Amino acid sequence: MSYSFTGFAYLILVFALGCSIYRFFQYCRKEKDIVSKCFLYIAVLFEIFAFSKAIGGLFFANNPAFLEITVDIAAFIQALAFAILAYLIIHLKFPQISPWFGFIPVLVLGLIVTGLNIITFYHPFLEPSGAINWGLSSVPLTLSLLRTFLFFITFIPMSIVFSQQFKIAKESYVKKKTFVMIIFFLLAFVVALLDFLFISIFRLEAIWRDITLIILSIILFLTSIIPPKPSPRYVKKI
């Protein structure tokens, strides 16, 4: 077995997401609304995604076949998570429209990306820095753009929703929570850009993606350990 810095970075993310799942579960039991349920589902999906990457990076860093399988698993899980995010965006911003008009198109596009991932050979390998290069430089630019587009149409709108929530929030607790969630979504989008575009186009070293991922995980962890207050809500209908 071989280890990688990438596996370590995703292991930290697994831990941070685990703390978030516990917090979202508490909110879900208390609030019992669609927003808290959606965030719980999204957190669980990203936990599965991070866990598959961590296993590959920690124990199969020199096994390209296994690493390619984790890429396919990640694409499918992300398709589900993005679809739920799209559902939530429509639910929050356009309540007069059925949220399934957000869920279904994004899910279909995500499944198309998953299918393209399965038939595409990434040829991942372990760089001298200890980071895993997922072989995105050998992937058609169209596929990288499609994956980035999925991040763009879900994470950016959610960041806008949280920004609006930050402006109207009266309690300092809500403002702090909302601000950190804005940073989380924006950093996640930065990681997507690093992974799908900048590493493949500008030949940046993969280690920078992992460092960014660790920073994101620390921020997510700090968000999760903020003590809860009576009836907290991450998002309100705006």
Distance, in Å, from the CA atom of 49 to the CA atom of 195, rounded to the nearest integer, reads 15
In sequence order, what DSSP letters do the residues of 84-134 get, joined into one string?
HHHHHHHHHH-TTS-THHHHHHHHHHHHHHHHHHHHS----EE-TTSPEE-
Across the chain, mean pLDDT equals: 80
**N- to C-terminal Cα separation, the chain:** 50
Q: Which domains does the chain have, with CATH numbers?
A: 5-224 (1.20.1070.10)
CA-CA distance, 68 to 74, in Å (whole number)?
Answer: 10
In which band, very low, low, confident or very high, does the pLDDT at 10 lie, cut at 50, 70 and 90? very high
Residue 228 confidence (pLDDT) above 70: no
| Residue range 184-224, pLDDT digits in tens | 667 667 766 666 666 666 667 778 888 888 888 888 788 77
Q: What is the pTM for the complete model shown?
A: 0.81
| Stretch (H or E) spanning 191 | helix 172-193
Q: pLDDT per residue over 75-106, tens digit each?
A: 899 899 899 999 988 998 888 999 999 999 99
What would the two tokens of residue 82 be?
């993005």
Contact 214, 5 (CB under 8 A): no
